[in-house]
A and B are shown apart, each in its own frame.
Chain A
Amino acid sequence: MSYGRGGYRRRHRDDYDDRRRESYETPEQKLRTAIIKLGEVDAVEELPRLQKQIQEHVPLNVANISEAFRIAVTEQPYKIPYYAALIRLLHEPSEAAQDSHGPSIGRLVLEDFWKGFQAYLDKLAWRETRLCIQLFAHLTVAHIVSPDSMLSLLQSFTAVLDEFGVSHGRAKRAALCAAEGLMISGPSLKPHSGTGVTDVINAIQAFNDTATTSKWLVRPMIRVYSEAVTIENGDELLDTVLYALKTLNDSDFSQTTDSFPQPYTNLPELDISTISHFDLPSVLVPPEVIELEGLSTETEEEAQVKKEEWPEYYLRLFDNEISPDPNTPAGYAVRTALLDTIAIFEVNRKECARLLLEYPKWNLPGAFKPKPGAPSDVEPAPGKDWQLESTLIETILGALLILPESSHKSIYYMSLITELCKLSPSTVGPAVGKSIRKLYSFLSEGLDVEGARRFAEWFAVHMSNFGFQWVWKEWVPDLALAVQHPRRTFIRRAVELEIRLSYHDRILKTLPEPMQSPDALTISEQAPGPDFEYDDPTNPHHDAAQSVLNLLRGRAKAEDVISHLDTLKTTLETSEEGHLNVDAIVRSIAVQSLLHIGSRSFSHLLNAIERYLPLLRNIASDGATGAGLNLEARAGILTAAASFWKNNRQMVGIVFDKLMQYQIVDPSDVVGWTFVNGSGIGQPRELVGPLSLNAFEWDLMRGALDKANGRVMIAKRKVAALRKEEDDTRAQAKARANEDTMEVDADTKQEEAPVDNPAMTTAIKALNSLTREQKAALSRTLEGFVSCLAASATDLNPNPHSRMVITEQAWHDRANWGNDEWNAWETWGWYRQFCRAYSPYLRTYATTLYTVSFARFEGSTDPAAELLKKIWNVAIGQDTS
């Protein structure tokens, strides 16, 4: 048989082809590579050589060279000053073409580069735009670009800040373009137009002043009682920009030299007689494009899922002597360079880690301490001499802990830190350890609950990559704190997440003895297995459950199981005392038995659910043949599942997710269930207290909300795709019609366009159902929070402390808080996260949701109601205070 051989031969040939494709480089490509790779060894020394190579390359291909510059500048921002120097060098006439009077290569490249910049701007590729502006700014100082045109360019970006109803995200990005351009070009702009410079700064300041209320909602250290937006352990991005700019302006930008490399300043003066300034053409920043537009459902207006609408706070973990203060020009320069590197190299975290560790090479000499053991002939720069690794970890963790969400998935930042540790364990490891300790100390200072959640997640993932080696011993004294104190919830959560990535015995062995003890409430005694409550022969329903289990094990048909359950109900009704809820018991037996046969693995669970979907649907509708709207039955399914997996909260989340996926329950069922039952699941009995939300319940709720929102997203895309298809078909039909009957009036043919499209009808109907469900899930969440935090006397099991923990006095007295106080505080934290993370969705239904949940507080002076409304209004963007 030639099967195997044939396959082998083909694979062999393919590999050969691939190799050949990769290895062949045209001279043009070679030149591009040479430009992009500038500075592999020493940029300053390589510059004249590269200048010569470009000038001597024949034939001159300006587009090719400027393409290389565009890639180089937008993907290697740390090299921008050197590319500015190269363009400056290329303005000198080449030796070969000394007698030619045409424009220099530098000028031609710059003109072509500008077209690329214009294209980035048209696409609103903000980062690329900003990095090109950095290049222009350097070129202004290098006397290539005219200061006048540079200032107008910056003003085009500050003009965005004055647009009516400009979003925070757009304004922030435009402000960064103007600010970074000014920081670098300031030395040339200030002498040219002092008022122009001040105007740019004032415009950014004026915008930043309008962002105060939104800052309050995303500051990483919670102070609910306070309006203050400055924090001790971190800085907001635009605040740092303004501090740095003002410092620069106060000293007439003399500090620019100290903050950004300027390799072009040492070059010999250009011959002014032959070279005129390049005037940057004037630009207009185009308006934002709205995605997925024009889809009208019959409900309220469309949700536009816009992200990054918030101010950005970065936590500081080290002192200014260890890592740079981003409020200084030099510190800001480091911060922005590192953040850009982290963002650009997201596609390859290993390269990213390598480049980050190489970063000092691109900053000024003496900015960072030399590598331990490396010979150093450079004097530490005064006020600098920072630790590279601490700076890197602080910046990465800062980006990870941005609220309401980081710009990349959390796992990216975690894996990036892992790569850094792998490249240089002896220097990065200690920085990671210190960062963990610092973040841990923030836990009792009000570290935001979402920040704390991500911290625990990072901790577990990091430990999973490094042998679970953590010195837990140093936290043993904290076992004296209240069980729900943020430090103890962090320890428990970190241990739980470690177990999920590993296994119980493995993690148990890493803990010191005082934490191993069951009394320490740190780790469960047993591995987190299932708990089939009818397993116990003394359980009154043991036999009934065994009969169901046997049917399921024997792969009985779903309808046979259903009829058996009916028989069971009848038997129970006649034999038991009347007050028992027979439906609930049989439901619980059936669900737990099903989960039992699916308890071996995730796949077993899926198999069990799929095999018995009709059974689950029957249970969910409680035998009713109506629309299947039986809330009690569905809550009962969730209760049975949560009870079965009470020792393994990961499985609770997985089962809920798949019950939603298979449409046994809806997201709004999960939300509703979580508020009523959640806080009791998988907690030691000591912790079952008044209604509150912890990280686990938040995860369940988030899973439900994301499911609801994700479904709407899919449905919208489907409608959009069908609409496009329809339009295309119609256009084609019209074109054909016009071709066929040139002489006939085209209008008469238009009726042939498809009027009725069943696929479209289905898709629109689905979108409407899902939009309703989305609204229901959001509404139930808001309702849940309101009844938790501003409970009326009639609400079930209210937390008595929800009004107390939001006062300043109470916060300062937190050393005396018990579990209920901390629970109430944490619930407030999740409410904040709910409002700010889901604000794009909430905004769509703002009016309805507000009326449903807040109308009752009209005229009320209840401080809890006031705060609920305030947080809501800030998130929705209706706060004008």
Chain B
Amino acid sequence: MAHVVTPLDQPSNYKDSQTRVDRQKQTELLAKSTTLYIGNLSFYTTEEQIYELFSKCASPEDGGGIKRIIMGLDRNTRTPCGFCFVEYYTHAEALASMRYVSGTKLDERIIRCDLDLGYKEGRQFGRGKSGGQVRDEHRQDYDPGRGGWGAQAQRMEVERRREVEERYADAQEGPGAVAGGGEEWKEVPGAVLETKKRARSPEEEAESARTAQRTRLEEEVEAERM
């Protein structure tokens, strides 16, 4: 419903250089995406601040909510480097964020949202040469919220900086490093026996079968490229 103006919830022209899907497939995936890339964050902005703002676009009564937030980290220092992913349960919530939150301020910086293909292992780390985001390699201005020129920082933020620097020191890599955030409601099998592995529900079986299939597909695509 918008011929007269361009809706704000259109994905940008960004194409992940490391993804293996083509443009058409990407468009299809983005049309269902529940994940947002958030850029231009201050290095000091916390996940809870992000949660607070983005929960305003959540529709829990419609089965939605914030599934998880994945903070973008400097590959080397394991400190936030100014971006994150916010994953909702529904596509509509991601669109709402594009319309109502992208381009407004969080922690006194204008943040930018973009629909994203979804978190993949390893994407929580910056891709710049120095470990952070590529854009910070080339930045020539002084930006106190993103590490100043170098290591300078405003006095008021010194304390925040110390906390932030330690916060993700334990960040892991590899499969399972990032929590899922909780899946859809499932019938819990009657008894919960702590010693035995919980029996899998038929849906979980179906899910893991699908995942396996997806992985296979990706491997095939990968093989094709080689």
Contact = CB atoms under 8 A, between A and B. Distances in A.
Interface of A: 4, 7-8, 10-11, 14-15, 18, 36, 71-72, 75-76, 344-351, 409-412, 414-415, 418, 457, 461, 464-465, 467, 497, 500-503, 505-506, 558-559, 562, 600-603, 606-607, 609-610, 614, 617-618, 621, 623, 625-628, 650-651, 654, 657-658, 661-663, 703, 706-707, 709-711, 713-715, 717, 758-759, 762, 765-766, 769-770
A714 B5 CA distance: 33
B194 A602 contact: no
A663 B47 contact: no
> Number of contact residues on B: which range applies?
35 or more
Interface in B1-59: 1-9, 13, 15, 17, 23, 46-49, 51-53, 56-57, 59
28 contacts: A4-B17, A7-B15, A7-B17, A75-B1, A344-B1, A347-B7, A349-B8, A409-B56, A412-B100, A414-B100, A457-B56, A461-B53, A464-B108, A500-B48, A500-B52, A501-B106, A503-B46, A506-B156, A601-B168, A617-B198, A627-B190, A650-B48, A650-B51, A663-B185, A710-B59, A711-B63, A713-B61, A762-B203
A232 to B, nearest CB: 31
Nearest to B197: A614
A497 B52 CA distance: 9
Nearest to B182: A661
B56 A650 contact: no
B96 A409 contact: yes
A800 to B, nearest CB: 35
A374 B71 CA distance: 48
Contacts of A650: 48, 51-52
A710 B198 CA distance: 26
Contacts of A72: 4
Contacts, number: 195
Given A14-B23, A500-B48, A502-B108, A603 B61 contact: no
Contacts of A503: 46, 49, 160
Interface in B135-188: 156, 159-160, 167-168, 178-182, 184-188
Contacts of B194: 558-559, 562, 614, 617-618, 623
A356 B3 CA distance: 18
A497 B195 CA distance: 43
Given A501-B52, A762-B203, A465 B104 contact: yes
B63 A714 contact: yes
Contact of A501 (B53, B96, B202): B53
B68 interface: yes
A348 B2 contact: yes
Contacts of B202: 758-759, 762
A527 B51 CA distance: 18
Contacts of A345: 5
B106 A347 contact: no
A720 B114 CA distance: 32
B56 A15 contact: no
Contact of B192 (A457, A618, A762): A618
A700 B124 CA distance: 31
Q: Tell me the interface secondary structure of chain B in the complex.
A: loop
B62 interface: yes
A614 B198 contact: yes
Contact of A347 (B9, B70, B108, B206): B9
Contact of A621 (B69, B70, B156, B192): B192
Which 10 interchain pairs have the tightest Cβ spacing? A661-B182, A606-B179, A347-B7, A706-B60, A714-B63, A710-B63, A411-B56, A602-B47, A500-B52, A351-B5
A349 B99 contact: yes
B191 interface: yes
B65 interface: yes
B103 interface: yes
B130 interface: no
Contacts of A706: 60-61
B108 A467 contact: yes
Contacts of A76: 4
A65 B108 CA distance: 47
A304 B192 CA distance: 35
B162 to A, nearest CB: 13
Interface in B92-127: 96, 99-101, 103-108
A651 B49 CA distance: 11
Contacts of B184: 714
A617 B100 CA distance: 38
B100 A347 contact: no
A215 B207 CA distance: 48
A801 to B, nearest CB: 32
B146 to A, nearest CB: 17
Contact of A71 (B3, B60, B191, B192): B3
Given A345-B5, A500-B52, A713-B62, 11 more contacts: A4-B17, A14-B23, A18-B13, A36-B3, A347-B8, A347-B99, A349-B100, A409-B56, A714-B184, A759-B202, A762-B202
B107 A501 contact: yes
Contacts of B96: 409, 411
Given A36-B3, A411-B57, A502-B108, A766 B187 contact: yes
Given A467-B108, A709-B61, A610 B52 contact: no
Contact of B56 (A344, A410, A505, A614): A410
A475 B104 CA distance: 28
B2 A75 contact: yes
Contacts of B4: 36, 71-72, 75-76
Q: From B8, B64, B69, name the one whose CB has the most chain A CB atoms within 10 angstroms.
A: B8
Contacts of B223: none
A354 to B, nearest CB: 9
Nearest to A37: B4
Given A18-B13, A412-B100, A663-B188, A658 B182 contact: yes
B201 interface: yes
B68 A603 contact: yes
A650 B56 CA distance: 13
Nearest to A601: B47
A350 B103 contact: yes
A628 B188 CA distance: 10
B64 to A, nearest CB: 7
A347 B56 contact: no
A18 B68 CA distance: 33
A717 B51 CA distance: 27
A770 B187 CA distance: 9
A497 B100 CA distance: 18
Nearest to A714: B63
A626 B105 contact: no
Contact of A662 (B9, B70, B182): B182
A68 B57 CA distance: 33
A555 B62 CA distance: 36
B8 A350 contact: yes
Contacts of B106: 464, 501
B155 to A, nearest CB: 11
A834 to B, nearest CB: 14
Contacts of A351: 5
A714 B184 CA distance: 9
Contact of A661 (B7, B181, B187, B195): B181
A703 to B, nearest CB: 7
A238 B194 CA distance: 61
Given A415-B104, A614-B194, A601 B188 contact: no
A99 to B, nearest CB: 36
A602 B51 contact: yes
B185 A714 contact: yes
Contact of A348 (B8, B62, B167, B191): B8
Contact of B191 (A418, A461, A626): A626
Nearest to A597: B170
A4 B15 CA distance: 12
Contacts of B46: 503, 601
Contacts of B198: 614, 617
Contacts of A8: 17
Nearest to A659: B182
